[in-house]
Structure 1
Amino acid sequence: MAAVMQVQPGHSVGDIHIGMLRKDAERYLSHAVYRFQVEYEQDKVSFVEINAEAGLSCKYEDIDVFQIKAAQLVEQLDVISPYDRLQSDGCMYRFPQLGLVLWRDLNLTEEDMEQPWFQEMPVENQEDTMRSLYFATAGVFAPENR
């Protein structure tokens, strides 16, 4: 059974939350099994991001953000709170009112997989590239005023 990490936009990823003291976050991170990126402002957590890793389920409500295709997830979240059309580029989507950012290294679509550039790749490369149909990281930050 996969470990489950809760992603609460604008608040926390797992046990690391926005506003947590640096010393407490670093104590937690020193024993963490999974890879986090944490940023601080005035010795408090201002941003926390988790990477997709084998065996880790990252849930926002009942959605596993690393197991649902990026296009589908963006569509669902955009209904809840629109993503920033100026700062989002197909690889990164920022939801300022939720306090959530999602990232993948390539803006890959289902249609891309029918294109010659994709079809001509070795199978191993196709499989690796297909991972970009999904997000690779999820990060939270203090939401902007609505």
Structure 2
Amino acid sequence: MAAIVHVKPGKSIGEIHIGMSKNDAEKLLSNSQLSFQIEYEGDIVSFVEINAGAEIEFSCYYNNIDLFKTKASKLVDILDAISPYDREDSDGFTYRFPKLGLVLWRNLDFSEEDMEQPWFKEMPIENQEDTMRSLYFETVGVFIPE
């Protein structure tokens, strides 16, 4: 059975919480098979990000939505209805939800419509498969809401 990681925007991803001490966070990280990026202000966690690529299979949930298995276009619409994303600070790769304290990232602004384009169809199958991963977000981050 795959692990389940719960995201609480503005607060935590799994057991890693904003406001946690660096020492406590690093203890948790040392025992984790998941891929985290953490930023600190002094010795206090100020930002937590999780990467979809990990040593183990897992699901990443917020409000019963799997953030890594819901297509980016649909996920942005769902979250935008909860709390608008920052149109100035979002570019198709990154979507920042400042009032929620949530940020989503993928390495390519790619949509299902792009799959019909000649440039996509001319790619080798392996490249198409890699590119299609960008239909989904690759990282989820939480920060103190604005």
TM tier, smaller: over 0.9
**Structure 2, unpaired ranges of 5+:** none
AA in 2 matched with 1:112: D
Shift of residue 95, structure 1, vs aligned partner: 0.2
In structure 2, the partner of 1:143 is 145
Paired position in structure 2 for 1:43: 43
Q: Identify which of 74, 92, 106 aligns with 1:90.
A: 92
Where does the alignment leave 5 or more consecutive residues of structure 1 unmatched?
Answer: none
Alignment coverage as a number of residue pairs: 144
Within 2, Cα distance between the matches of 1:20 and 1:61?
Answer: 23
Residue in 2 that maps onto 1:103: 105
AA aligned opposite 2:42: Q
Cα offset, 1:2, TM superposition: 1.3
Alignment of 1:62-101 (within 5 A): 62-101=64-103
- Report the Cα offset of residue 42 of structure 1: 2.1
Structure 1 stretches of 4+ moved >6 Å: none
- Under a length normalisation based on structure 1, what TM-score does the superposition of the two structures give? 0.97
Q: Give the superposed CA RMSD.
A: 0.8
Shift of 1:32: 1.0
Question: What CA distance in whole angstroms lies between the structure 1 residues aligned with 2:133 and 2:31?
Answer: 28
One-letter code aligned to 2:37: Q
